[in-house]
Homo-oligomer: A and B are copies of this chain.
Amino acid sequence: MDQAEDPIAQLEAYDGELPIVATNRNQWFGGKARDTGRLDTLFAASRFDAVTYVDIELETARAKEWILEEFRDNDVGLIISHHDFDSTPDKEVLTAIIDQCAGYGDVAKVAVYPEDLSDTLTLLTALHEATQAGIDAAGIAMGETGSHTRVVGHIYGSKLGYAPLLDDDSEYAPGQIPLGKLRALVESTRIDGTQLERIEAIEGDVSVPSELTLPN
């Protein structure tokens, strides 16, 4: 929402079939939202039927735990996320972060920056162990080094994939894989029994619904 011109009006205009994960980040978490009113706007978004999940930062959940119940009252699921844009925590620390995220919400999401390939293995290992422990976890290693974790994360239990819809690949962050390609790669590597709830609902090319277009 922090990237959109008028997110609430755009949600009002949205009549697409795909459910929406709403997020509203401030600068600390890589976004553009001012702190004032940030969570109120996210809360307003969570009232829309199309918004089925909100993504709230672990730090926000920790500091303002009382708001989580209010979001739940609006019938949205909670993705509790932690981002590390500079490095990858040790596996024990990453596991503790995932546990904490899971303690606050329905899905524990981590995005880390790998300094080398041992960090991508740490991310995959932590995802696998959290999944084994019964946690709905999701995670990626950012950047080009981590790009393949977007492809194989589902094998290790990751419950969410992230892919840009834009056709212009100069708009992608390093390591991001556009939706059509990511879908093909995930389908090519899936193990029988992997449930892909939404990916199968997305047929053909997907473009950003005009109501949700972001400004350039």
A117 to B121, CA, bound (A): 12
**CB-defined contacts of A125 to chain B, threshold 8 Å:** 118, 121
**CB-defined contacts of A121 to chain B, threshold 8 Å:** 121, 124-125, 128, 156
Interface centre among A118, A145, A152, A192 (most CB of B within 10 A): A152
Question: Does A63 have its Cβ within 8 Å of any Cβ on chain B?
Answer: no
Partner of A144, one of B120, B156, B192: B192
1/0 per position for A123-154, CB-CB distance to B under 8 A?
A: 01100100000000000000011011001100
Question: Does A181 have its Cβ within 8 Å of any Cβ on chain B?
Answer: yes
Question: Does A201 have its Cβ within 8 Å of any Cβ on chain B?
Answer: no
Question: Does A189 have its Cβ within 8 Å of any Cβ on chain B?
Answer: yes
| Chain B: minimal CB distance from A190 (Å) | 9
A189 to B191, CA, bound (A): 18
A121-B125, A147-B189 given; 8 more Cβ-contact pairs under 8 Å: A117-B156, A121-B156, A144-B191, A144-B192, A145-B191, A148-B189, A151-B151, A185-B185
Smallest CB-CB A-B distances: 6 pairs: A148-B189, A148-B152, A117-B128, A148-B155, A121-B125, A144-B191
